[in-house]
Structures are given as structure tokens and as C-alpha cells.
Structure 1
Amino acid sequence: MSTEDDPRPPSRDDQVAALRPVYQADLADGLDRFFEPRRESCPWCGSARLVPRLRTRDLIQHKPGTFVLDRCEDCRHTFQNPRLSPAGLEFYYRDFYDGLGEKQLGNTFAARTKMYEQRARSLLAHAPAPKNWLDVGTGHGHFCESARTVYPDTAFDGLDFTDGAELAERAGRVERGYRGSFPELAADLAGHYDVVSMFHYLEHSTEPERELAAAHTAVRPGGHLLIEVPDPDSRYSRLLGRWWLPWLQPQHLHFVPVENLRRRLTELGFTVVAEQHAEPHDPVDLLAGTWLALDTVAPRDNLPWLPKPPTGSARALRAAVLIAGIPALVLGTLLDRFAVKPLSHRLGVSNAYRLVARRD
């Protein structure tokens, strides 16, 4: 562990040991306070015709809890039910994008430059030279940094409910970083932006329709809204079940079918000018599904929300399971990138869709 005379940062095991009492105190009273009451109607259309679609656990962080996704039989909207409460959102997000998970996630996002540039280019045909752009759910601003290579004369701002937007501003990835709720900040941003983007943000929102209304407020007339979200109609969502990465429970609260989103944007005063399925597909489904399965079978790593660290034999068993799974991981990677990706839309397995909408 670091001291005043030793500037080295604490090891991960030291960080986990320091966090364990905090997490154990959070869990001492059970999990009920982390969930709101169960809904009896669809949050999108109000229908009471709900059926269970998925029951799963936290397959990424392995925090305790069981999570249920219900599907509306009328509008086909899928949503977490019961939904996480504010206390639950804080608990399950903690140490994912920040703290213990900050370095790993930051490296992952920073390495996706080509994907970010492709997202930015999807708007070129509709807005070749926007003056300014607000990226909502910007994280640490890596998309804005990459998009600047496509739009060198555009001023990029970022908004996030974590301190990521402030970190992005300090790092120079965005000109202005807003921290807070988009619906609450939208009035101050009214009609200010040529472009507002939401890349894999809407599914995290407790009330996606308020986010869409906020976007309509922030985009100036004639400007554009760019949205990318997981596609709940992907065949992989059924074939892979709980091992389909975009379910990402418990963080993803809403899964909106594309026709629902198109209709709501039209009602708000947008015209959808482009719909893409093949382009936003991220070729990781089989690799990620294999990893999630191996990581679930193998004993857990040292995590502060577990009551004690794993023993030496448990660590050895985990290493053995993961090594044995390497051929499956390699095969999944090859299939994802070279067999499935070129045919993803034709096969109906695209894991995301993207809409470009112009404010009328």
C-alpha cells in the first residue's frame, strides 16, 4: 500500500480490501431498497399486457441481485421490472465506470477509435459541417475526440451524469463538459446545438421519453439528433439468452423496438432521415457470450461486494477454467468478425440500430 514516502498507487487487492467494509455495510440490510415497486403497466404505451422476457443476474460485476426484464405484448417494449431505485442505480454503477473499473473501461473505450469515427461519418450525408455538437452520455469524451477527425471545424461538448464529462473537458476531449441530468439541463441549452448524439445512452435512462424531449429542446430547428441503441429484435437476443451482452443487467433499463422510436420521434417533431442496422453492429456477441459463460462458471475474482477474497485454490481453478476456454474465445472472435459481421443485417442478428432524425 502506498504511503507518503511511497508514491506508488495502491494495488487492486489493497483497493478491494479498503472497499469491502463499505460494500458489506451497504448489503447488510438486504437488496429491497435497491428496487422500486414492480410496474403493472408498460412505461412506453401503458398496456397491462406484460410477459416476462428474461431473468438473470449481474454477469459483469457479479454484484448480488436478480433482475427481470418484462416485455409488453402490445408495443413490444422491453424494460427492467422492478426497476432499480436511485439507491440501486448508485450501488450497481459504482466501480463500473469509475473507481475499480475506471482504468479498464477507459482503456476499452479509448481503443474504439474506428467505431467512433464510423458513428460520426453516419451523419455526413445529412450535416456535412455542423457548427457545434453535444454528445449526451459522453463518458470520458472519447467519441468526441475521434469525431473531431471527421469534423475538424465542429465544437464538441459532452454531457454525462457522472464526473466523466468534467474529466473529458480537463483532458481536452470536449470544449465544455456538463455534469447532470439532460432533461434538467435542456432548458439552458435550448436551440443551441446543430447536432445532439446519444450513443448507447437511452437504454440507461430511467425515462427515455424525457430524454427525447430534452433532445428536441436542445437541437435547433433544422439540426439533427443521432441515436444508437441495442436492438431488442436481434435474433441473438433470443439465441444467446442471458449471455447476450447488450442485455447488460442491471444497467440497461429500457429496450425500444425501432418502430416505437421512429414513431415517438415523429410525434415530437422530428423527421427520421436514415435508419441503419448493419453499420452499428458491434461484432462481439459470440466472444462476449462465451466470456460471460466462462466467467460465471469459474470462481469469482477478488471483489469487495463478496464477503471475503477467494482462496489460492479458487484462484487456480478460475485460471484453469479460463485457460481451457481460450479455444472457444478464439472461435467466437473469428465467427463474430469474419462470418457473421458481413451478414449481420441479412441474418437478423445486428445487435444495435441507429437513427438520424432532423428537427422540423
Structure 2
Amino acid sequence: MTSREERSRRRRARRETVSGLRPEYAAELADGPQAFFEPLRHNCPWCGSGRIGGHLLTADLLQHKPGRFRVDRCHSCGHLFQNPRLNGRGLDFYYRDFYDGLGEQQLDGMFGGRTTSYRRRAESVRPHLGGVKRWLDVGTGHGHFCEVARAVLPEVEFDGLDRSEGVELAERRGRVARGFRGPFTELAPDLAGEYDAVSLFHYLEHSTEPLRELEAARTCLRPGGHIVVEVPDPGSRYARLLGRWWLPWLQPQHLHLMPVGNLRGALSDLGFTVVAEQHRSAHEPVDLVAAVWLALEGAAPRDDLPWLPPVGPLHRALRGAALLAGVPALVAAALLDQAVAPFAGRLGLCNAYRLVARRG
């Protein structure tokens, strides 16, 4: 089969999948997006202060599923959080077909292509993790980080944990020694004291209760073990400059965005000692190109998606033409991202930070 025939076959298969999913999504949306949210809260979930206010109002800029999402800021501690927050039904709805289903192949390819980033991450934390033999990667997805990190840390055995079926795929493909599927806070007691290192790479921001996730990590660690936490940095100047087009807002998936001082304090309260705070090595130079892409996606006609009305060939052709016209802007933004990256730390533009802390 030629590559052209294969692409045509995949397009037909996708259209059939979309058509099959459309009744399910119609039933889910029958009560409207308001059914996906908890009641509005009036205090900060991090410090309890009632001094909170609206910071950002946006939509689902990636999947274009219906709904509006608000991020509030606590004026006492600086914590940012989705308010009202998605309930269990809402989390299921907005995650569906993102990391699995319709989105599985695309996401697997995207994360699988980040070998350099994963290697840099492993090399950045290696000097602080002497003697590590067993490592649990929480929110491992398809296990790509573990696969790459083994080359940097060949003496370490990596296990993975995730809510999605991706962790089972990771175990089948040998990317992790053992794969655990389910909520971390529920599985942690069975893994108590088993690990020298626990990593939460871009995981806490997705959690409904991030402080409980940190407690679960402490449970899994042996005394003297290390936790590695990497999250988006809401203090990045890009967050202010790019507004709703800053990718790490990632609504509605990101429920919490924690200033670095807040996370350091929480780790200290749990008996951890922070041994490293890294900003430049946690930064991914994608802010500008991602902002341009999100803007193009917002302006272009929508793709054929099961939660939106059906589209025809003309609509798809118009979408292709609109995105093609934006290629020069995407290229320019990508080049500028790379040019700015060496100075991101000094300019306050790093879009993430990483903490390494030792359990007392």
C-alpha cells in the first residue's frame, strides 16, 4: 500500500470513528456544560484565604469542547486555580479522546519525539539523586521519559503509574518494569517505602488535591529518598504577555498552578528538604509557537470532531488552507523561541520549574 493510500485509509477510519462517537457526545452534552462543574468556591484551596479574584477566562483551545473556564488567583498566597472546578464527570468528559481514543496516536507521537527534553531532565536531576535504585514516575503516560532516562541512569529500575491505559502500554513495550494504573493517592499505601525516587513531572497541576499527591509521594519514599516535582511556572512573564494563548494554562485540564514559594513551603511542611530548584533546565522553548498555533486553531474552521457539528469536504479544505497560510508565522515564532531560550532565565520567561527534595 502506498503512503497516499495509507493516508486515505486513515482519514476514512477516523471519519468512521468520529461518526460512531457523535451520539455518545450528544448524550453527554444533553444537560449542557454546566453539569460538568462543582459549585463555585469562595476561598483558596491552598491557603484557605477568602481574598480571591478572577484572573483568566478562556475556552478549550485544543480540543474545542464546549464550555468556559475561569482561573482565579489568591491575593494572599498567589495560588491559581480553576473555579468552579470540574467535577468527576467533567474530568472524564474533557480528558476523553485527548490522551487516548482519538488523540492517542497523536499524543504518543508527540511525547515520543521529546527524547532530547527527557534526557536533559534526567541529566539535570542526576547529580542530586546519588544511590537511587528504584524510581516511580507518577503520571508516566506512555512511559517515554522512563525509556529515555534508563540510558542516563542505567543502574535505576523505573516503574510507572498513571490513570490511563497508556501505562499498561508502557509496561507491554518494556518502557517501565511495572505499570500501575489508578489514582496515586489510592495506590500509594500498597507501595509504601518501596522507592528511592518519586517523580511528578507535569502531574500536580492536573490533580484535584495536589497536597494529597505530595503526601502520597512521601508514603512511597524510603527515608532519605528524593521527590522530583516539575510544574508550569505561573510567575513566567510569558503568562502575562501571551494571556489566554499561553499554552501552560491548558484549560480545562490544569486545575492548579503553584508559585514556586508555595510548593517549597508545602514540601517543607511534609518534612522534605529542597536540595535543588531549577528553572532554565525545566523550560521548554515553545511558548511563542504554541501561542501562534492556538490563535490559528481558533481562527481556522473547526476540524471534524464528535462533540461539534459534522463538517464536509469544503470545510476541511478551508481549514487546511487557513492553517497553511499560517505556516510562515509558525516558523518565525519557533525561531524566536529558540533564540530567546538561552536568556529565558534572566528574562523571567521560563515556563516551568523543577524542585528536587530529600525526605527527612
Structure 1 length as normaliser, TM-score? 0.96
Tell me the distance in 2 between the aligned counterparts of 1:349 and 1:123.
Answer: 21
Aligned runs of 1:293-308 on 2, under 5 Å?
A: 293-307=295-309
* Shift, 1:134, TM fit: 0.1
Q: Which residue of structure 2 lines up, in the alignment, with residue 156 of structure 1?
A: 158
* Shift, 1:316, TM fit: 2.5
Question: 1:336 and 1:9, CA in 2 relative to 1: closer, same or farther beyond 3 A?
Answer: closer
Question: Deviations along 1:219-247, whole A, 9 cap, x unmatched?
Answer: 11111000100000001101100100000
* Shift, 1:9, TM fit: 10
Tell me the distance in 2 between the aligned counterparts of 1:260 and 1:37.
Answer: 25
Greater Cα shift, 124-133 or 207-216:
124-133
Question: Deviations along 1:172-209, whole A, 9 cap, x unmatched?
Answer: 11011001111111111111100000000000000000
* Shift, 1:118, TM fit: 1.2
Give 3-state SS (helix, strand or coil) of 1:134's partner.
Answer: strand
Q: Which residue of structure 2 lines up, in the alignment, with residue 322 of structure 1?
A: 323
Aligned runs of 1:34-49 on 2, under 5 Å?
A: 34-49=36-51
Structure 1 gap ranges (5+): 1-6
Q: Which residue of structure 2 lines up, in the alignment, with residue 4 of structure 1?
A: none
Question: Deviations along 1:284-308, whole A, 9 cap, x unmatched?
Answer: 000000000000001101000013x
Q: Which residue of structure 2 lines up, in the alignment, with residue 224 of structure 1?
A: 226
Tell me the distance in 1 between the aligned counterparts of 2:69 and 2:100.
Answer: 22
Q: Which residue of structure 1 lines up, in the alignment, with residue 83 of structure 2?
A: 81
Tell me the distance in 2 between the aligned counterparts of 1:301 and 1:155.
Answer: 42
Aligned runs of 1:39-188 on 2, under 5 Å?
A: 39-188=41-190
Q: Percent identity?
A: 65
Question: 1:8 and 1:261, CA in 2 relative to 1: closer, same or farther beyond 3 A?
Answer: closer
Q: Which residue of structure 1 lines up, in the alignment, with residue 279 of structure 2?
A: 277
Instruction: Please state if 1:352 is matched with 2:352.
Output: yes
Q: Which residue of structure 1 lines up, in the alignment, with residue 198 of structure 2?
A: 196
Give 3-state SS (helix, strand or coil) of 1:262's partner.
Answer: helix
Question: Deviations along 1:60-119, whole A, 9 cap, x unmatched?
Answer: 000000000000000000000000000000000000000000000000000111111111
Q: Which residue of structure 2 lines up, in the alignment, with residue 342 of structure 1?
A: 342
Question: 1:9 and 1:235, CA in 2 relative to 1: closer, same or farther beyond 3 A?
Answer: closer
Instruction: Please state if 1:246 is matched with 2:248.
Output: yes
* Shift, 1:315, TM fit: 2.1
Give 3-state SS (helix, strand or coil) of 1:28's partner.
Answer: helix
Greater Cα shift, 319-328 or 286-295:
319-328
Tell me the distance in 2 between the aligned counterparts of 1:121 and 1:197.
Answer: 14
Q: Which amino acid aligns with 1:89?
A: L
RMSD: 1.3
Tell me the distance in 2 between the aligned counterparts of 1:210 and 1:262.
Answer: 15
Contact 1:222 1:358 in 2 (8 A): yes
Q: Which amino acid aligns with 2:332?
A: L
Tell me the distance in 2 between the aligned counterparts of 1:218 and 1:256.
Answer: 23
Greater Cα shift, 96-105 or 160-169:
160-169
Q: Which residue of structure 2 lines up, in the alignment, with residue 3 of structure 1?
A: none
Tell me the distance in 1 between the aligned counterparts of 2:29 and 2:104.
Answer: 23
* Shift, 1:273, TM fit: 0.3
Question: 1:29 and 1:263, CA in 2 relative to 1: closer, same or farther beyond 3 A?
Answer: same
Tell me the distance in 1 between the aligned counterparts of 2:335 and 2:172.
Answer: 38
Q: Which amino acid aligns with 2:23?
A: P
Q: Which amino acid aligns with 2:86?
A: L
Tell me the distance in 2 between the aligned counterparts of 1:195 and 1:8.
Answer: 41
Q: Which amino acid aligns with 2:303?
A: D
Higher helix proportion (structure 1 or 2): 2
* Shift, 1:8, TM fit: 8.7
Contact 1:129 1:151 in 2 (8 A): no
